[in-house]
Amino acid sequence: MKEYRIVLGEKFNLPDEDCVLQFEVVNFDSSKKTYNLLKLFELPVDVEKIFLNNWQSWGSCDFFSVGLDISKYFEVPPAKDFVLAFTPEPELFREKDKLMSDYFVAFSNVLIGFLKSEFSHNFFVYDKGKKTISAYVDLFGKELETGEKLVLEPLVVLKNKKIEKLLETYGALVAEKNNISADKKVRVGWCSWYHYFTNITYDELKKNIEFLKNLKEKIPYQFVQIDDGYQKDIGDWLETNSKFPEGLEGIVKSIRDAGFIPGIWLAPFSVSETSTVFKEHKDWLISDENGEPKVAYRNWEKNIYGLDLSNEEVLDWLKNLFKELKNKGFEYFKIDFLFAGAIPGKRKKIVTPIEAYRVGLKTIKDTIGDSFLLGCGAPLLPSIGIVDGMRIGADTSPEWFEDIVAPFPNSKVALRNVITRYFMNKRWWNNDPDCLLLRKEDINLPENVRRLYSFVSAALSNMVIESDDMELVDEEGLQTFVESLKLCDGEPRVFNLDTDEKVYVIGVKGLLDGNYILVANLENKEYEIEIPEDAKLWTGLREEKITVPPRDVVVVRDKIRKLKVERARRKDDNRLVNYYWDGDENC
Amino acid sequence: MLETRYNPLTDEWVMVSSSRSARPVLPSENACPLCPGVLELEKDYDLATFENRFPALKVDAPDVVQESELLKKIKSKGVCEVVMYTSEHDSALPRMSLNQIEKLIFVWRDRTFEISRNDFIKYIFLFENRGKEVGATLSHPHGQLYAFPFLPKRIQVKVNSMRGYYHKNKKCVLCDIVEEEIEKNERIIYQNESFIAIVPFYARFPYEVHIYPKRHVTSVLDLVNKEIEDFARALKVVTMKYDKLFDQEFPYMMCFFQKPFNLNEVFDDFFHFHVEFYPPKRDKDKIKWMASVETGTWNFINPSLPKEVADRLKSIEVNLDD
């Protein structure tokens, strides 16, 4: 692909072909200069719909009408307390006549996207009045000496392809540029959050471990992850509260003794106003213009602050924290609310929020080594190459609400992102679609919705994590899990991301069990969907139309004849031998 | 010694596997090392695969010591397996039942699926060397697979050509070739609902035949049930025609070209799975040698007209029940 180098300020026309654009800023002034928000270019774009992406795990990624007023969702609590979670550019974000898209934007068979975010925040703004799209880079006060040049982060322009091909090509280019080799294995586990929330207790954890142990033959659970609710406070992670009298050691022992990988949740860049860290180390926090600690967000009915990851003392504290957790036996770390480390504000060193964030994240990864690191509430591009897994949608919920924009606990919003961000999976990291909820009680999701979430997450080969009180999961729920796992491990493509109704056609090929088409209906009425030609070509299936009930899923599969396989190692030299016999499970 | 060396003159990798010089020679008929219970396979089998005793690539390949900045080496980390088509010693692809060939396709799919789960594997090459003329040391029907940690040179060339055509024309080159060959119907020697077998316009060997799926599929893993049945038919018809050509067991190299795996590129839209047969014979008793021009320049001189060869192969009647 052709690369163009452009000095910012020079006349420049966007090439007609696919290309990489590499902008440079040069300080031509006679004194040191500070750089903040830079506009790289502005394009006229007259469209009805535009594909937007929010910078963070929980944020939306979808086609939206250009008339959308995103600001109305962020003017009322709880969203009001979370604006910095959804953008490091809150003023621009709230403007009624603008739509922001972080990292990439797509419209009319064109995608423009940044390939990296290692030091700047890179985004696009659609101006409703001018009908233009502008590309921006925020350098957050980076300084250049006279004559000094800064090469900005590259962006790619892709044209003349359908949206799914644009996204997949963009995903592959980002992976290539960041030298990513995401592993292909699907991970299966259990998490305490979506049944117990913060009310999890040691006894309930042990009860669930026992259930999971007894299900091992049926479902290959690998890890058990304790979520929020075990710790003394946000920031005081090594001390457990009174519900966990055996401490972290007890949690690890119970999980490990049952043969699972011990996993733990924490929000390592967040500090609550009641925590010991806050009381003893206010100088460790990102501060506002007056030097006062800056509230990153409100949660747990408390003000939460972000750690200054440019401060060596903070990094040492992080290192010790994760070393300690690893030494205790945890090997799976879900780190949440990560945006808190990347909010704009004053830091000890002159670094951008993105640079500070990456140093903090790398410190954690370097400390835990081969253990699995799952990011959540995280700026996406700056996390690439550091995390092993990433939440790519809002929190799911035991509830389903129809509004598809609001990024708050809602299984519909969460599932929409699982579909629209499918192209990131196995390219940038392992996508975490958030948990499958398969219980029948203490839940407002009917069986069809539980199946819909489960099948779609598995078909797109995401991580598969259940979050239930296992005592409440009946045979039907377990069967849904087992059926879901049979859908994993193929090569998926979503063929109608530009649909007005949220009824998606997903084609999956490359599986020993046979290719299939899955239609996921996120709407509350029945649809008869005409299968796109491209989906038929991808899968080899010839289905013309598939009818799918409201909020449900239909899978049409080409059943392939299979053989029985016995995999063995030779006794003398340990070479692998596979013996194949007739014994067609599928017929 | 087992290592892979870089040739900076041609930008290609050479696998050094000195233990291969000790590989078994043709055994007597009653001591075939591939028959059940003799040497390689301890148990009876219908079909089987096993890791090569003398591999050019292996999962736990030894570390390498660099010779210099210029003369680079990498570990020969990969997989080399032997694929047993049947336990029947005297069988062969053209004599196998369609049912057995379909089972063989399952084995190819299984190995491709399993091996491609390893991130370090970038290319899985399935092939068969049939006959002494192409170096086959054992006559028991079998093929092999090499799973490489890099893209071999000719695969790179194929990928680059297919990608270039796709970017220019927004279409897959093999989809276009299939369409044109079906329309002209001059070089097709066999076709069914899912596949065509042709002597290609650009054949390098006199009796070269390619099998192309009509649908745009990228590897054996993409095939649906009907295509597996049709693929088995195509393989059987082509190899039966070969054997009837000179009324002898016709030697060939059969090579499968699948898309690369575990690389940061979307190959699915431009890479089209296909099979190429390279028979070394130019006549009943004459060999088409890979001589200086072919080996030195990679340029082939084909002494036959593909259309005439296609007419000849097409006219050979075969009975699939044989």
* pLDDT more than 70, % of chain A: 99
Q: B225 to chain A: which residues are within 8 Å by CB?
A: 514, 558-561
pLDDT in tens, A177-228: 999 987 777 789 999 999 999 999 999 999 999 999 999 999 999 999 999 9
Give per-residue pLDDT as tens, B163-178. 999 999 999 999 999 9
The answer to whether the CB atoms of B265 and A578 lie below 8 A apart is no
CA A372 to chain centre: 15
Q: Is the pLDDT of residue A304 over 80?
A: yes
- Lowest average pLDDT, out of A61-70, B76-85, B273-282, goes to A61-70
Sheet strands side by side (includes A270-272):
A270-272, A302-306, A295-299
Contact residues, chain B to chain A, C-beta under 8 Å: 41-43, 45-51, 53, 81, 102-103, 106-107, 109-111, 113, 116-117, 119, 167, 170, 215-217, 219, 221-228, 262, 264-266, 268-269
Does the structure show a pLDDT above 70 at B26?
no
As annotated, the residues of chain A forming the CATH 2.60.40 domain(s) are 494-557
**A174 has pLDDT over 90:** yes
A369-402 burial string, b = 16+ CB within 10 Å, else e?
eebbbbbbbbbbbbbbbbbbbbbbbbbbbbebee
B296: which DSSP letter? Answer: I
Task: Say whether residue A565 is in contact with chain B using an 8 A CB cutoff.
Answer: yes
Q: Which of A167, A575, A587 to mutate to test the interface with B (most CBs of B within 10 A)?
A: A575
Residue among B117, B227, B269 whose CB faces A165 most closely: B269
The shortest CB-CB distance from A577 to any of B48, B119, B170 is to B48
CA gap A372, A370 in Å, rounded: 6
Model confidence at A559: pLDDT above 90: no
* Angle at alpha carbon of residue A339, lines to A497 and A188, rounded to 5°: 60
- 3-state secondary structure at position A277: helix
- Closest listed residue to residue A120, CA positions, set A341, A283, A356: A356
Cβ contact A118:A353 at 8 Å: no
Closest CA to A20 of A39, A1, A6, A38: A1
Calpha distance B114→A86 (Å, rounded) = 40
**What is the CATH code of the structural domain delimited by A494-557?**
2.60.40
Determine whether the interchain pair A540/B215 forms a contact, defined as Cβ–Cβ distance below 8 Å. yes
Q: Lowest-confidence range among A427-431, A560-564, B237-241?
A: A560-564
Query: Chain B: residue nearest A508 by CA?
Result: B222
Contact yes or no for A184 and B117 at CB 8 A: yes
Place of tokens 């289905």: A543
**Whole-number Å distance between alpha carbons of B226 and B211:** 16
Of all residues in chain B, the percent with pLDDT exceeding 90 is 91
Interface test with A, best of B264, B268, B270 (most A CBs within 10 A): B264
- Smallest CA–CA distance from B102 into chain A, residue: A561
**Which of B138, B136, B86, B130 has the alpha carbon at shortest distance from B249?**
B130
- d(Cα A360, Cα A377) in Å, to the nearest integer? 15
List all residues 6 or more positions away from B90 whose beta carbon is below 8 Å from its beta carbon: none
Residue A470, CA distances (Å) to A192, A198, A215, A528 in order: 10, 17, 10, 36
Nearest by CB: B106 against A427, A541, A563: A563
CA distance A384 to B41: 45
Contact criterion met (CB < 8 Å) for A577 and B219: no
The CA angle A361-A364-A368, to the nearest 5 degrees, is 145
Among B116, B225, B262, the residue with its CB nearest the CB of A561 is B225
Contact A173 B264 (CB under 8 A): yes
Query: Whose structure tokens read 């692998």?
Result: A576
Q: Do B50 and A560 count as a contact with CB atoms less than 8 A apart? A: no
- CA A284 from chain centre, in angstroms, equals 27
Residue B120's nearest CA partner among B67, B163, B61 is B61
Contacts of A115 in chain B (CB under 8 A): none
- Closest alpha carbon to B139 in B51, B224, B28: B28
Instruction: Provide CB contacts within 8 A for A114, sequence distance 6+.
Output: A103, A104, A122, A153, A154, A155, A381
Q: Write out chain B residues lying below 8 Å of A565, CB-based.
A: 110
Of the two residues A431 and A76, the one the predictor is more confident about is A431
What pLDDT does residue B322 have?
A: 76
Of B107, B217, B222, the CB nearest to A580: B107
Neighbours of A545 (CB within 10 A): 10
A512 and B119: CB-CB below 8 Å? no
User: Which residues in chain B have their CB less than 8 angstroms from residue A173's CB?
Assistant: 264
ipTM computed for the complex = 0.95
pLDDT of residue B25 exceeding 60, the answer is no
Residue A11 confidence (pLDDT): 86
Check CB contact under 8 Å for A570 and B50: yes
Residue B197 lies in a domain: yes
Is the model's pLDDT at A585 over the cut of 70? no
| Catalytic machinery residues of A | 336, 395
Min Cα distance B314 → chain A (Å) is: 28
The pLDDT of residue A171 is 98
Residue B84 counted as domain residue:
yes
Q: Whole-angstrom distance between the N-terminal and C-terminal Cα of chain B?
A: 46
Q: What is the mean pLDDT of chain A?
A: 95
Residues B239, B316: contact at Cβ < 8 Å?
no
B257-284 mean pLDDT: 96
Beta carbons of A577 and B50 less than 8 Å apart: yes
| H/E stretch holding A176 | helix A163-177
Phi, psi of A151 (to 5 degrees): -85, 120
What's the CA gap between A133 and A141, in Å, rounded? 24
| Residue in A172, A510, A581 closest to B264 by CB | A172
pLDDT at B27: 55
Where is A447: in which H helix or E strand? Answer: helix A447-459
DSSP per position, B54-113: S-SSBTTPPP-----SSS-EE--BSEEEEEE--S-TT--GGGS-HHHHHHHHHHHHHHHH
Residues constituting chain B: 322
Res. A587 pLDDT band, cuts 50 70 90: very low
Quickly list DSSP for A512-540: TT--EEEEEE-SSS-EEEEPPHHHHHHH-
Residue A76 has pLDDT above 80, yes or no: no
Closest-CA distance, B262 to chain A, in angstroms, reads 8
| Amino acid A82: pLDDT | 87
Distance of CA A406 to the CA centre of its chain: 17
Identify the residue among B142, B217, B266 best suited for mutation to test binding to A, counting A beta carbons within 10 A and taking the highest. B266
Q: What amino acid is encoded at A560 in this protein?
A: I
Provide mean pLDDT across the span A273-287. 97
pLDDT digits (tens, 9 = 90+) for A260-276: 999 999 999 999 999 99
Bridge partners of A552, per DSSP, are A521
Tell me which residues of B are annotated as active site: 142
Q: Which of B172, B258, B199, B198 is nearest to B223 (CA)?
A: B258
Establish if B320 belongs to a structural domain.
no
Spatial neighbors of A97 by CB under 8 A, at least 6 apart, are A127, A128, A129
User: Domain total for chain B?
Assistant: 1
List phi, psi (to 5°) of A412: -70, -45
A93-97, A103-107, B237-241: which range is least confident on average?
A: A93-97
CA distance A384 to B250: 53
Closest CA–CA distance from residue A482 to any residue of chain B (Å): 20
Give me the residue label for tokens 């991970």.
A187
Predicted pLDDT of residue A584: 65
CA distance A490 to chain B (A): 10
Q: What is the CATH number of the domain that holds B200?
A: 3.30.428.10
Identify whether the C-beta of residue A143 lies closer than 8 Å to the C-beta of residue A34: yes
Q: Which pLDDT score, from 0 to 100, does residue B29 have?
A: 58
Quote the domain boundaries for residue B290.
2-17+26-315
Distance CA A237, CA A251 (A): 13
pLDDT band (50, 70, 90) for residue A583: confident
Q: Which of A237, A460, A456 is nearest to A328 (CA)?
A: A237
Answer yes or no: do A577 and B222 touch at CB < 8 A. Answer: no
Give the integer Cα–Cα distance in Å for A24 and A14.
Answer: 16
Q: In Å, how far is A173's CA from the nearest CA of chain B?
A: 7
Choose among B45, B262, B266: nearest Cβ to A579.
B45
Size of interface A-B (CB pairs under 8 A): 111
**Does residue B225 lie in a domain region?**
yes
pLDDT score recorded for residue B148? 98
Pairwise CA distance, residues A487 & A518, whole Å: 10
- Residue A309 CA to residue A340 CA, distance in Å, equals 10
- The tokens for A387 are 């995390």
Q: Is A172 on the interface with B (CB under 8 A)?
A: yes
Mean pLDDT within A348-372: 97
Average pLDDT over residues A127-137: 97
Amino acid at A243: K
pLDDT tens digits along A371-415: 999 999 999 999 999 999 999 999 999 989 888 776 678 999 999
Across the interface, do A562 and B107 touch by the CB < 8 Å criterion? Answer: no
In this model, does residue A69 exceed pLDDT 80?
A: yes
What are A502-546's pLDDT values in tens digits? 999 999 999 999 999 999 999 999 999 999 999 999 999 999 999
Longest alpha-carbon distance in chain A: 80
